[in-house]
Structures are given as C-alpha cells and as structure tokens.
Chain A
C-alpha cells in the first residue's frame, strides 16, 4: 500500500506539472492586433482615422446610390430577358413599393449605422491617445477628432434623409436607445457640425491636392445641406441660413475654391487637383480594390463594353444593368406626358457632355455617355451583343422596348410595343460615363479619378435655389448660368436660365443634368415635394410615406426599441 501511494504521488506530481505548464487559456493572436498595442507612430493614427473614411467611400456607392437614383426619374434598371429581374427588387425601387426586408434598404440602414459606430469607435480610440507619444501635437489631435465628429454628423444626416429620426448615441458604450425625433436628430447633427467647423483645417492653396479628408469648407457645406433640406426633414424652413453659409463659402471664408473651367475637370483623371472639389473619395488607379466608383463599371456597362472603351478590362465582365431613364417612346417620340425625367433629352444638343464617350489618349476624352452604335471611332472595335443581340454590333437607344419581339409578338407594329421596366433588352438605355475610362495603353489610370462628394458647383446651385425660393429669380439664374457656361463651346449657352424660365421644374432639371448620377436625385425631388407626387417613365405618384424608407426588420430585431416609419405596417410612431 505504502509503495503504491508513493507511486501515485509521483504520478499526480507529473500530471500537475504538465497541467500548470500549459494552463494558459488566453487567446494568442498573430494576424490581428489589440488596440492597446496598436498606436506606435503617426501612421498608426492615420490608419485608424482612415477606417471610417474607407467605410464612407464604400457608402457613397452601391445600395445607397440605388436608393437615391433608381427610385427617381433619372435612372432605372429594367429587366433584360432573364437578367435583372432579381425577384422584382429593382421594380420595387421604380414603383416605390419597397419593403423593410429589401436588401437595398437593409444595407443602407446598416451602412448608416455602421458608419456612425465605426466613426465613433475611431474617435474614442484617438481621443484616448496621448498624441505626444507618437510625435504629434494637440492641434493634430483636435483636427483628427473633429474630422470624425463631422463625419459622424454626415452619416447621421444620411440617416435622417433616408429614414427620418435616428437613435442618437454619444458613445459606442451607450445602452440601446429608441429613435429620436427628426428634429432631435437634426439638432444633434447641427451641434456636431458647429462644434467641428472651427477646429478643422482650411484649404489655403487653390487647386491643392484633395486627399479625401474633411476640411472646414466640407463641414460647412454639410451644415448648409442640413439647412437646405430642413423643411423636408423637420418641416422648418432654414433656407436663409443655408444661403448665408453658401455665400460665405463662395467668398472664401472657409478656404479657397473656384469653379473648374471645364465640365470634366471635377470628374477627370486629375480631379484631385480640380479647384472645384471640396470633398472627394480618393480612388487608386490600376488597382481594383481601392477604387471609389468600381461598381459603376459592373452595373452600367455591357459585358463587352471593354472593347468599345479600347480594350480595358475592369474588375471582371460588367453585367449590363443600369441606364438613364428613357426619354423616348418605342416610336422614337420624346415623352411629353410628364415634366420630370427624360434625362438624356434634358441636355441641350449643343451640350459638350451630350456626346458618345471617346477616350482620346493622354487623359483626354469627350462625351459623357455610351449611346448609339458601339463602335469606337478611333480603333474601329465594336461591342457586340451576347444575348438576344448576339453577334450584332450593339446600338444603345434611349428607349426601353422589346424590339426583338416586334414581328413575332406585335405584328410588326411599333406603336404596339410596350415600354416599361419589364421589357428591357440588351441594347436598352443610355449609359453614363461620369468616371472616364481609359484605353488599354492607359489601363493603370482606370478608376483613378476620385469620386466628388462635394464640389463648389453644388454651393452655387444651393444658393441659386435659395434665391429662387426667396423670389430673387434673376440672381438665381445668374448663379446657375455661371456653372452652365463651361458645358458649351466658347462658353456660349444657347438656353441659359432666366428670371422668366427658372421655376421648380427648370431648377430640378438643372440639378438633374449637372449632378446626373452623383447620388442625390431623390433628396432634390423630396425637397420640391416631387418624389412622391410626380409622374415619370413607368412611374405613377405614390404617397408621402414613401419619402422615408422603412426601418429594416433586422435593425428592429437587433434593437426592439426602434419603431417603424408610418406606411410600412408594424409598430410605428
């Protein structure tokens, strides 16, 4: 017995030492790093500062853009045979029949919420850092922290615009909150911006490189935008305050900016040095992952459009989807049944932008659309159809109709052809080329242009609209014409705005053509009470509740304090 016990003691001793030697259950990480050990240099603060901005760059595209454009008279995504029906989700955007679990709505809500939270999280980490330990000053810190404050405000403003009142959080550690009212949300945004503006840096050199960060003028414009749409957001008219800020920006009080001389300056390959850019999402050419408008390539262009563009390939073959809302009926007549819409035909025929896009080499190009016969005038290469138009050189028309079924189904009578979102074909619709595409030789430039989010032209137009609403139509027209001139040869505008012709519809048309495809159309229509009240191609008026999108089910399931917007069933305010 004694002999045995000794053995057991030895044995249990061995076991215990084994145990204690390997009893560290802490997770050990290799490919990721804890925030506590992350800040070691200037660059590490930039890396954390940049994260909310990469989210923002992603945010301005895709789903958020769809909600701003495909729901309006500017853009549409028709079904093209078996493509793009997608369970009717694009139809629902066109007809304003979206519901709370449509993915565009859900992704947009998550994009807003994630933007706010990520920015708050970065702000908290930077606020907690002693900048002197990484060789930076308190001023650097204030600038970085206040940029994030302004960015939080920007995301909140997008939330207010899409959904109305948002739950207001001051920190990522806050308890769950219910939605604040639209007015409270408005006040919160106003407070954040007013606090941020004086601490931000001013642009001091005209045409200096825009790096994607927020300067004073960008934050000031956000505040102007907030006042500009205040009536739609809260019912309170704040146009006067908007006008004042716009005037200050134009006077250079927030930094030096100037309208670009050319229409393509703010969009071209070197637009990061355009004097007009106030805030733009930086995009890295050549690479396919750090580009701002990458999705444009896939969603607008035809599978074989690379051939027309001169041999470039984007990030894989495009899907041939989005297009400008059609201006013409199957018979070729321009729609006159509604005042909005007809985006392509709203451009004057002399407008330099209303031409097929052609890359001339060396960063020069002309035109802003893929339209007509898709044969490149320089290389002679053509885009050919791959589906119903298989083998034919594609001819993009400003019409949506089932031309291929003309004889089989409609007895050869063009007037009997329907035009609606269901009957798109491969060749339907004009495509926007706001981001220029280089040819194969200049492939490294592809996706290099930054995505402008705020440019000085918007300040001109906001001020013009304020003056129009204030009755000063003449001054409004002058402001618009100042921007318009550059779109015509020798700056001779054949159809300038005048005190006589400038009204709600002309103003909306001006917004439409200058900012076509820049992701703001819905907001402009709502401000003019046109989004739900007006007709356009294959769209009948809906009701006012559609000015706000529903809160997605997933957000309510994550926080059941959130109430649904009116008009979408469920538990609403």
Chain B
C-alpha cells in the first residue's frame, strides 16, 4: 500500500506541480465586452455560447440574443458557437461591443468534438473521429433502438441487428479487435463509461462522437480497444420554455420470404405423408401489417443560470412475427446550474427507462416453420387448447411453432437507470476542476408461463411450467480531473487535463422454475403451487459475480502552435481486479500530431482551398472484457450431485477452472494517418484515414495440458491480431440558396483482419453446425489466417448417382464419403469481409419540403447459406424444403455436407432509408403551435443482390463472419420494409 501511495503521489503531484508553474501568467488590462447575436435572417439567437479561446471563461446569450463577458484582454479571441451553426472567432482588440451573425452549417467544421474528459475544437483534432449530430439522424427510423439510425453513418462501424423490436445490436469498429475478450466499442454516455445505448431516445441525443483510433481512445485505457462511442445528451437552451412533441406511427411488411414448397408441391414430390391440410407455416408465424407507435414529449428551458431539459416517451412496437413486441416508457431530466458568475457549474442528469418485452418466438420458430410438413394443420378442435399440439403429424422433436408461441406467456422487463452528477469549478480563467459521479443500474425480470397444453408440458407429463428470473448489474464510477487552458504569447495554445478515475461493477442473478400446477389461470404467480418443488425436481439458482474494479490515473496535453502545428499526448495508467497482483497495472498512451496546411502561406493563397490538415497518431489501448476469476484458484460446485458415504446427496466441489496468475492486459497498438480537407468555402469537404492496428497478448482460451491441469482450456495471453484498412468520407453542399438546398455525403471503408500469431499450433474452430445432421464446423483460424475465410470442402461436382464429389487435400477429386470428409481435406475458400463498404446519403430541401435518402452497399464478399444447406436438399425426413431442392440442387441425392456450393457472392445495394417531410409554419395561425413538421419515412425499401440465400445481411462481426445461420434469430428473422408517418409539433 505504501508503494502504491508513493506511486500515486508521483503520478498526481507531478502534473499538479506542472500546472502551478504554468499558471504564473501575466495579468494585463481587462474590460467587458457585450453585444447581440443574430442569425442569417437577423433574428435574435438565444443560447449561443461565448467563450474565450484557450480559457475556461464562458457565457451564453439571452433571449434577446445579448451577451456580456467580463475581464477580457485585447489579445483574447472570443469564440461564438452553437450546434448547427458555423462557429465564429473574433479577436477582442480594443472593442467593447461585438455583434455577431451566425450562419447555419451542414458540415459543422468549426464545432467542438467530445474526446473524453473534455472537448476540442474540430480543427485541433489529430485523430480519427466521426461526429454525428442527433438532429441529423433521419427521423422515423429508430423504432425501438437508435442503432438502426446509425447504420452506415460512421465509416468502419458495422452494426448488426434485425427488424425485431427486441433485437440486440452488435457494434464492431474497424474489424474484429479481439479473439476472446470483448470486441465492441466502449459506449460512454455523458462521460460515464459502460453505458447501454439501447436505453437512449433518438430525440435526446445532441451528438455522437466515435473515437476510432487508439490515439483518441487511449485516454479510456483498458476498455477502448474496440473504439469508443461518446454519446452526449441534450441540454436545454436559454430562453422560453420550449415544448416539442413527436409522434410516429409505423407498420411493416415482409420484404423477402423463403420460397418453400406449397402443400400440393410437397405431396406431388412425395416428400412425406399427406395429412390433407394446406398450411403456410411461415405466414402463420407472421403478423399482417403490425402497427407500432411512439410518442415523445420534450420540455426544456431556463435562464443562463438554471437550465432544465426533460423528456418523456412511450412506445409500443409490434414485431412482424407473432409473439414479438415491446412497450417502453422512459423519462429523462438533464439540468445545469451556474453559480458565482459561471465560476461553478453543476450538471445532473438521470434517465429511467423500462422496456416490457414479449419475446415468445425464437430462432427455433422459423426453423420449425421452414421444415414442417405443409399438409399438417395448425389447429385441431380435438385438442383442449384448440391447437394441433402433437396429434396430427407432430411428434418427437418436431413441434407446431404457432402453438408453441400461443401456449406461452412471456413478460420480460428490462430497465435501465442512468444517472450522473458533475461539479465543475473554474478555479481561474485558465484552470478548472471537475468531479463526476455516475451510477448506472440495469435490471432484467422475466416471468414466463408455459401452458399445460403446450407440447413440452404434454411430452414431459406435467401441467405447465412457471419461471421467474431476475438479474441486476450496477456500475459506479467516479472521476476527478483538472483542466487547464491557456494561450501564451498568442501563438502557443495549451489544453491539458489530468485526473483520476474509479470504476466498480457488480452483478447478481436469481431464478426459479417449477412445474405441474393445479390451475392454469394464474400463470407464474403461484410458484409454490407446482408439485415438482415437493418432488425435488423444481429448479432454483442464484449467483453473484465477483466484484470488478478499475482504478486509473490519466492525463492529456494538447498543444497548438500558431493554429498550425498541433501536438497531442495522453497517458493512462490503469489497474484491474481481474488480473493477478503482478499484472494488474497497465500503461496506455498515445501521441499524435497535426499540421494545418491551410495556415501556411503557400496554401492560404490558393482560394479554392478552405481547409487542409494532415494528421497522424499512434496509441496503445487495452482490453479486459473477459470474465472475472481467471487469476484466482476457486472451488465451485459441479452441476451434479453425488452421495456421501452415508448416502446423502450433496454437490461435489472442485476447482472452477485453470487459473493463470500471469494474465495481463491485452494491448492494441494502432497507427492512424489522415487528411481533412475542405474546398470552395467548404462546399466540398471530407477526410481520408488509413490505419493499421495490432493487438498483442491476445486474451484467448487455449488448449491446456491435462494433466497436470484440471480443465482442458486456460485463459492465456497468446498471439497477435492485425487489422488494416482505410476510410474515406466525401461530402458536398451542391446547392445552397434561399429555396433550394442539396447536400450529399458518401462514405467508403475497407478493412482486413488477420491472425498473425496464435501461439504454437494455436487454432480456433467455429461452433459446430446444428442438428439435424451435425455436419461439423466451417471455420478454423490458424496462424496467418485471414478473418472471413470459410474452412469447407471444395465441391467437385456430383457422381452419376447424385453423390458429392470433393477436392481432397491434394486437389484430386474424391467421393464425398465419410473417410474423405475429414478436416485434412477442407480448404480455405471465400471471403466474408466486404472489400468495400459504401454508404451514400442525400439531403434535399426546397422551401418547406425536405427529402432524404440513404443507400448502403457492401461490395465483394461471400456468405455461407445454412438455409440453403439445411432446407435446399431433398431428404426422406418428411421435412419441407425450399423450391430450390427441385431446381438448383435437383441433381443432389446425398446428405448435406460442408461444401462451398452453399457459398455465394452476397454483394448488395440497399436503400436503408428514404424520408420526405413538410414543415408548416403555424406562427401566423395560432399563438400556441409555432411549427409542425409532417414526415414519411420508409426503412429498408429494397435490397438488390445476387445472393443465393435469403438475406445477404448476416452478421459480419466477430471471428467467424458471413454465415446465414438457421439457429440464429439474427439471420432467420424476416426482413421487412417499414413505413413510418411522423409528426413533430413545436409549441
């Protein structure tokens, strides 16, 4: 402890002392400056922030657009900024009045960018950051989550998800970042790391800043290996109380459905017994035009000293699939108070959200619907439930997916509490101190009841199944840091931050299951009534995760010389409880630099160039997102009991897992270089970035020698992974005049990921393909493997009996029989990572009309269709098949094998969103409503592709991308077109 204290003193006091010396700055003659801020039309602008460049001093304009700022020296530069407008900078000089006109902007060149523990002006940024303004996201797309609206907006960011309101989304930035530990970006909501993006309303988002490279992310240390997504929620603006209402009403339809045999075709081909009915199982599982809606009310306002922003929202989302829906309620309050002439600022924010989920369907539902004999009926009057549960043609492991859903109840409640409070003190004009405390809690409650008539109840001879589950996670974080800003001798601009951060996470869960209830009516609300409890067959489980802690010290300095040369460095030292005592602390650092060529005389004179900056950086970040308890030897109970010598059954205890006390941080080093440019007064703008990153000491479960070890795997730091790629963004304001406005932005990205080293003989196999048939694994990573390759048998035609022929390891054609279907004969084929991803957005407005469209395209990549493999070949199993079984695969007369015939090019072009709106100016008609905007948005209108499976947009994240999996809801959930009618009223 003493040593630690000494170390801490070392790390805290040195930067502090550094600050003291820097503070010795001259104090000259000062005065007050005031003025009025107006927009292009000459209207007064409220809430414009006025700051002194390089200092902490700040104020905002009042409702008349007036501001006053005191203690200004002639050399100070005043910065006027408001989101949505081009920032203006003016030298104070000898003036005491300064009236400013702000011009609205599309590209936000002058805005500030949130970078973690502070913000920077965009032009001072030396790393790869993409910023998105909440109000620039297309409205009407969000549905239950804002992830959909983010699709395609950040080059290099892949977002997975389905059209289900209960879909989860996985994010992956610049390729897979880790083998075994977590791979997604760290989400930081209002400065609190580890937030859940699903908890947020699109309407509440001010900005989303994505820190893509390590030179920006290193300030977040251990958790930034997959990039950082910083979300800032809205704050009220000074002025009258503003009320806004948004209402959205949506419906959807299936865009593409699998082409299965009809009942008459099924009978004609003699695939199985004819039960005499005609059932379209797939359609039976879906709702016809489900209706969803969401309502958001937003009230905000306040004086410069007290600002309050509140949001209340409710939504009811119905999925296209029966038994899939979600109802949400949420409230948010953001407040900000300024005291002592803006010297002290207090911000407090809290959001609570609850999502009530109905999630009775599952991946198995679609599997069952695809395979079930179409001559089997859905209903059966002879059954008490009214459904054909297991009478007509249904037995064994098959089941009626409609009855399965309808004879269950599912009441899941997700709730999130996000809260934080921060205190900012401007100690001097140059130095401020900030402390933040954040608390987040997420809870999951699930109450489930399976009817006594449900097949699982009948099969197991029990009357019903009741289940209660509860789990909870909470995270506490505390940060304290100092921020110093100063301009020396006009040319030297310093912006520095240093502080301390503490984080703790805890989690627990409990669940119970009981069976065989006397009555059906009360669902799971009479758990003690089930007889299996007294029979000793009821289930109960509880668990509390090991406490996890992170401690860190961090600092960052940004130095700008003559607005021309920018240097930035950051350092974070972080300790985690997940590692053994010797390896707890890791050092994460970054350096980056920028050169604003636009400030150089030889460029300044070129009139068509309005901005040009070169930047490069290198940073090291870590990754600790893997389970706790890998470094300590623990006993845990076996899942099974054993009798003691006296015949009493007890749980057996033994070592939980192989421990590795030498575990240490996984480290990612990333180099990024880029150029930002703007031409013709920033009418054409963009940026280009190239990067290469290497993740070393990969945390990975490797094979363990048994004996001496008790378990067959052990977590180790093994090997290296590499991502390489580039990103390019190009935008233009093509037309900008009083009536017409057209701008467009295109984003391109390319990434390849490679396993450089997995240790000697290191190997990772993908999960086995599912039953029926258990055909094996179609992915294997070795040293030197490129991520995205499939490891399968190479199709070499069919023999005269329709049996598979494959190329063996020597390239010779051999029969695809069991002795040849071994891993040695598999080949690496295909590529599941697009060579190029493109997104292209258009925004057009004419007077009161606005129109936008977003296209997205993945070019040159392959997908393995399990759907074709499992449902595309004839069998003697009574299962239904795709029409292709008698078309494309008609010649095949063999059991399915892991063959590259099921791989096809999945390149596509999709129209993600198209939206049209009209804004009514109601000020002249009514004193109560000032504006009304009516809009119509359509999501996923079409996808053009030559892909042979159903849906080319499968998960491309993770180590084994590119599989259209039959057992994953992600690829089996129907693709839909969604139509939304929305209205926004501003009061």
Contact = CB atoms under 8 A, between A and B. Distances in A.
Nearest to A87: B776
B42 interface: no
A339 interface: no
A70 to B, nearest CB: 13
A495 interface: no
Nearest to A143: B645
A19 B553 CA distance: 10
Contact of A88 (B549, B821, B876): B821
Interface string A193-213: 000000000000000010111
Contact of A81 (B460, B499, B655, B875): B875
Interface in B641-672: 641-645, 647, 649-656
B95 interface: no
A555 B879 CA distance: 40
Interface string A372-396: 0000000000001011101100000
A116 B536 CA distance: 33
Interface stretch (A40-48, A218-226, A340-348, A500-508): A40-48
The B contact surface, by secondary structure, is: loop
A18 interface: yes
B704 A91 contact: no
A88 B878 CA distance: 22
A438 to B, nearest CB: 12
B878 A27 contact: no
Interface string B362-400: 000000000000000000000000000000010111100
Nearest to A79: B895
Contact of A99 (B575, B576, B822): B822
Interface in A276-296: 282, 284, 286-290
A212 B764 CA distance: 38
A390 B703 contact: no
Interface stretch (A166-174, A237-245, A356-364): A166-174
Interface string A314-336: 00110110000000000000000
Contacts of B736: none
A92 interface: yes
A16 B12 contact: yes
A51 B395 contact: no
B20 A8 contact: yes
Interface in B603-656: 628-629, 631-645, 647, 649-656
Contacts of A110: 706, 712
A487 interface: no
A449 interface: no
Contact of A101 (B500, B504, B823): B823
Interface residues of B, number: 113
A118 B643 contact: no
Contacts of B548: 27
A53 interface: yes
A303 B395 contact: yes
Given A32-B629, A46-B645, A81-B876, A304 B396 contact: yes
Given A120-B707, A211-B647, A35 B547 contact: no
A52 to B, nearest CB: 8
Given A8-B20, A51-B652, A31 B544 contact: yes
Interface in A1-27: 1, 4-5, 7-8, 11-12, 14-16, 18-20, 22-27
A139 interface: no
Interface stretch (A469-477, A510-518, A522-530, A556-564): A556-564
Given A27-B578, A27-B631, A97-B819, A47 B23 contact: no
B706 A303 contact: no
B547 A28 contact: yes
Given A22-B549, A83-B877, A54 B819 contact: no
Contacts of B636: 31-33
Interface in B491-529: 499-500, 502, 504, 508
Contacts of A1: 23-24
Interface residues of A, number: 112
A54 B633 contact: no
A267 to B, nearest CB: 19
Given A38-B635, A390-B273, A121 B654 contact: yes
A82 B395 contact: no
A88 B895 CA distance: 10
Contacts of B628: 27
Given A27-B546, A50-B652, A384-B395, A35 B635 contact: yes
A480 interface: no
A129 interface: no
A82 B649 contact: no
Interface string B521-551: 0000000000000011100001111111101
B257 to A, nearest CB: 23
B794 to A, nearest CB: 15
A167 B709 CA distance: 13
Contacts of A496: none
Centre residue among B9, B710, B875 by max chain A CB count within 10 A: B710
B459 interface: yes
A312 interface: yes
Nearest to B390: A304
A237 to B, nearest CB: 30
A70 B708 CA distance: 30
A373 to B, nearest CB: 17
B302 interface: no
B502 A18 contact: yes
B433 interface: yes
Contact of B427 (A4, A26, A53): A4
A11 B19 CA distance: 13
Contacts of A120: 707-708
Contacts of B898: 87
A284 B822 CA distance: 39
Contact of A390 (B546, B773, B878): B878
Given A31-B545, A312-B461, A212 B643 contact: yes
A557 B761 contact: yes
B772 interface: yes
A302 B709 CA distance: 39
B137 interface: no
A386 B396 contact: yes
Contacts of A490: none
Nearest to A171: B708
Nearest to A29: B546
B13 interface: yes
Contact of B535 (A22, A212, A444): A444
Interface in A542-573: 553-560
Contacts of B480: 14-15, 18
B944 interface: no
Nearest to B549: A25
B536 A287 contact: yes
Contact of B876 (A82, A176, A286): A82
B375 to A, nearest CB: 11
Contacts of A303: 395-397
Nearest to B645: A211
B709 A33 contact: no
Nearest to A384: B395
Interface in B1-56: 1, 4-5, 8-9, 12-13, 16, 19-20, 23-24
Given A8-B16, A114-B711, A47 B4 contact: no
10 contacts: A18-B502, A25-B549, A34-B634, A51-B652, A79-B895, A97-B819, A121-B654, A287-B537, A303-B397, A556-B761
Given A29-B634, A50-B644, A117-B710, 11 more contacts: A27-B629, A32-B629, A83-B773, A85-B773, A92-B818, A117-B706, A117-B707, A167-B707, A317-B397, A386-B398, A440-B461
Interface of B: 1, 4-5, 8-9, 12-13, 16, 19-20, 23-24, 272-273, 393, 395-398, 427-428, 433, 459-461, 478, 480, 482, 499-500, 502, 504, 508, 535-537, 542-549, 551, 575-578, 584, 628-629, 631-645, 647, 649-656, 702-712, 760-763, 771-776, 817-819, 821-824, 875-879, 895-898
